[in-house]
């Protein structure tokens, strides 16, 4: 009986046939049919009541709560080939060498010649100032012409907070002579160490490894003293020796001894003004070369910047930005005696470059009928002073001298 009952509700036609053939089942059929007959008017009544309720509710408006959508990135205001990376993006890569931060950027490549120098290429262009690479807005114009790249930037990726890339010819700020694009590397500041709503913060990072990798580490601290003043400082170091290749052979002159640090002061006189003073120091000793022709290099890079911005909230014609910087980069390159076509004498060459630069620009926004206009105007000046001295008395392909570039910034 229970089986007949279940079969009836799952498949009524088959059950009716089966139950009709069985005399014992006939009372059940009658009971089931009666129950079905009784349920039909109830279902019809419920359906009618639902329809009445739906009709009644449709006469009243439905109030939905407001939904706020917030994006993590800034909207693109000007169509251009640009990219940006934040510190979170860099930490996902965990870069130990500068070139690692550029791997996933479209249109941007790098030349890795086995040194810790960063040589940037954009759309097939690089060297001789075609790409303006900056640290906190300060141009890094150092170059040592030879078998490698003709433009080297020395920066510790552990101190980076992010970067901005603009590919192609740049006609606005920082675009003087940059026909291939520009790259601005941002180092850690107060806001990168102190969380929102906090007064101070500390960050640290330690890495270790095998194959003669001694390790690396970074520690940074910042204090938002009050609403007007905040300070930040960080120190980083890395040590690695000559590594072994797959055959277990030690590769000479592949060591690196890096120390770097920074110090910054943020001064905010008001909500519409900001002044930042900063310095970044980089020192590295490393080896480079091929078999039987190995060299030892020592690099010192000191970057000092001052950056000021003024943007009153009640005046769209003023969005003033001014900066000044001085960059000093020195390299001591020692090449021992080696045999090529002839026997080359040992050589110790000192390369030095000092860059002094200023920039002033303003953006004015105004309406012209149904259109909105933004006009950027200003000027940029920088001066490179090169000083090369060799123990052989020959300056090679990077002689001493200077270069001056002054260019307006129309847009």
Q: Could you give the CA distance from residue 33 to residue 24 in angstroms, rounded to a whole number? A: 16
Alpha carbons within 13 A on the beta-carbon side of 337: 3
- Assess whether 136 and 7 both reside in one domain: no
Q: What per-residue confidence (pLDDT) applies to 142? A: 87
Q: What per-residue confidence (pLDDT) applies to 37? A: 41
Is residue 173 one of the residues assigned to a domain? yes
Radius of gyration of the chain (CA): 35
Give average pLDDT by consecutive 10-residue segment, the chain, 411 residues.
41 41 41 40 48 55 77 59 85 81 80 81 75 91 73 90 84 71 92 91 92 92 94 95 88 89 95 94 87 80 96 92 95 71 68 92 90 89 85 64 49 48
Per-position b or e across 31-64, b if 16+ CB within 10 A of its CB: ebeeeeeeeeeeeeeeeeeeeeeeeeeeeeeeee
Q: Could you give the CA distance from residue 257 to residue 67 in angstroms, rounded to a whole number? A: 53
Q: Could you give the CA distance from residue 327 to residue 143 in angstroms, rounded to a whole number? A: 13
Parallel, antiparallel or unpaired: strands 343-344 and 338-339: antiparallel
Is residue 398 one of the residues assigned to a domain? yes
- Assess whether 179 and 244 both reside in one domain: yes
Alpha carbons within 13 A on the beta-carbon side of 308: 10
Is residue 274 one of the residues assigned to a domain? yes
- Assess whether 34 and 99 both reside in one domain: no
- Assess whether 328 and 386 both reside in one domain: yes
- Assess whether 246 and 382 both reside in one domain: yes
Is residue 55 one of the residues assigned to a domain? no
Is residue 48 one of the residues assigned to a domain? no
In this structure, is the dihedral angle defined by the CA atoms of residues 387, 392, 398 and 400, taken in order, positive or negative? positive
Q: Could you give the CA distance from residue 187 to residue 192 in angstroms, rounded to a whole number? A: 9
- Assess whether 237 and 384 both reside in one domain: yes
Is residue 331 one of the residues assigned to a domain? yes
Q: Could you give the CA distance from residue 135 to residue 321 in angstroms, rounded to a whole number? A: 17
- Assess whether 243 and 384 both reside in one domain: yes
In the numeric block, the tokens 């101070």 are attached to 200
Largest CA distance in the chain: 123
Q: What per-residue confidence (pLDDT) applies to 357? A: 93
* Structural domains of the chain, count: 2
Q: What per-residue confidence (pLDDT) applies to 131? A: 85
Six-digit token pair at 356?
A: 């002094």
Parallel, antiparallel or unpaired: strands 181-187 and 131-135: parallel
**Residue 198: domain span:** 82-408
- Assess whether 247 and 315 both reside in one domain: yes
- Assess whether 399 and 345 both reside in one domain: yes
- Assess whether 33 and 86 both reside in one domain: no
Q: What per-residue confidence (pLDDT) applies to 35? A: 40
Six-digit token pair at 40?
A: 């039909």
- Assess whether 169 and 97 both reside in one domain: yes
Phi, psi dihedrals of residue 40, rounded to the nearest 5°: -60, -50
Is residue 343 one of the residues assigned to a domain? yes
Q: Nearest-CA neighbor of 349 among 395, 308, 385, 316?
A: 395
Is residue 355 one of the residues assigned to a domain? yes
In this structure, is the dihedral angle defined by the CA atoms of residues 301, 241, 118 and 93, taken in order, positive or negative? negative
Q: Nearest-CA neighbor of 314 among 278, 263, 365?
A: 365
- Assess whether 203 and 329 both reside in one domain: yes
Q: Which residue(s) pair with 286 in the sheet?
A: 256, 297
Phi, psi dihedrals of residue 3, rounded to the nearest 5°: -65, -40
């Amino acid at each position: 009986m229970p089986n007949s009952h279940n079969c009836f509700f799952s498949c009524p036609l088959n059950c009716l046939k089966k139950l009709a053939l069985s005399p014992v089942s006939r009372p059940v059929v009658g009971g089931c049919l009666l129950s079905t007959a009784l349920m039909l008017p109830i279902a019809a009544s419920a359906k009618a009541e639902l329809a009445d309720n739906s009709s009644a509710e449709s006469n009243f408006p439905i109030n939905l709560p407001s939904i706020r959508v917030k994006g993590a990135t800034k909207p693109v205001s000007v169509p251009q080939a640009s990219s940006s990376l934040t510190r979170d993006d860099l930490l996902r890569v965990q870069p130990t060498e500068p070139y690692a931060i550029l791997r996933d950027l479209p249109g941007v490549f790098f030349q890795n010649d086995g040194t810790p120098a960063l040589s940037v290429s954009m759309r097939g262009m690089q060297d001789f100032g075609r790409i303006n690479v900056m640290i906190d807005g300060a141009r890094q114009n150092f170059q040592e012409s030879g078998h490698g790249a003709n433009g080297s930037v020395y920066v510790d990726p552990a101190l980076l907070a992010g970067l901005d890339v603009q590919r192609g010819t740049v006609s606005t700020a920082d675009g003087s002579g940059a026909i291939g694009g520009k790259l601005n590397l941002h180092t850690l500041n107060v806001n990168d160490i102190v969380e929102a709503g906090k007064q101070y913060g500390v960050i640290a990072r330690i890495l270790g490894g095998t194959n003669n990798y001694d390790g690396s580490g970074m520690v940074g601290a910042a204090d938002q003293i009050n609403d007007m003043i905040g300070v930040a400082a960080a120190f980083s170091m890395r040590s690695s020796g000559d590594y072994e290749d797959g055959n277990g052979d030690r590769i000479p002159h592949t060591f690196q001894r890096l120390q770097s640090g920074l110090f910054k002061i943020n001064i905010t006189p008001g909500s519409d003004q900001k002044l930042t003073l900063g310095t970044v120091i980089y020192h590295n000793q490393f080896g480079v070369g091929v078999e039987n022709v190995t060299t030892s290099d020592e690099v010192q890079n000191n970057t000092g910047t001052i950056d000021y911005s003024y943007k009153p909230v009640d005046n769209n014609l003023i969005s003033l930005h001014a900066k000044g910087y001085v960059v000093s980069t020195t390299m001591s390159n020692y090449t021992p005696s080696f045999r090529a076509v002839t026997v080359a004498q040992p050589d110790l060459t000192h390369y030095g470059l000092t860059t002094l630069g200023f920039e002033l620009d303003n953006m004015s926004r105004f309406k012209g009928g149904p259109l909105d206009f933004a006009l950027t105007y200003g000027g940029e000046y920088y001066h490179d002073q090169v000083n090369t001295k060799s123990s052989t008395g020959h300056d090679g392909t990077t002689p001493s001298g200077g270069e001056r570039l002054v260019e307006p910034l129309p847009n």
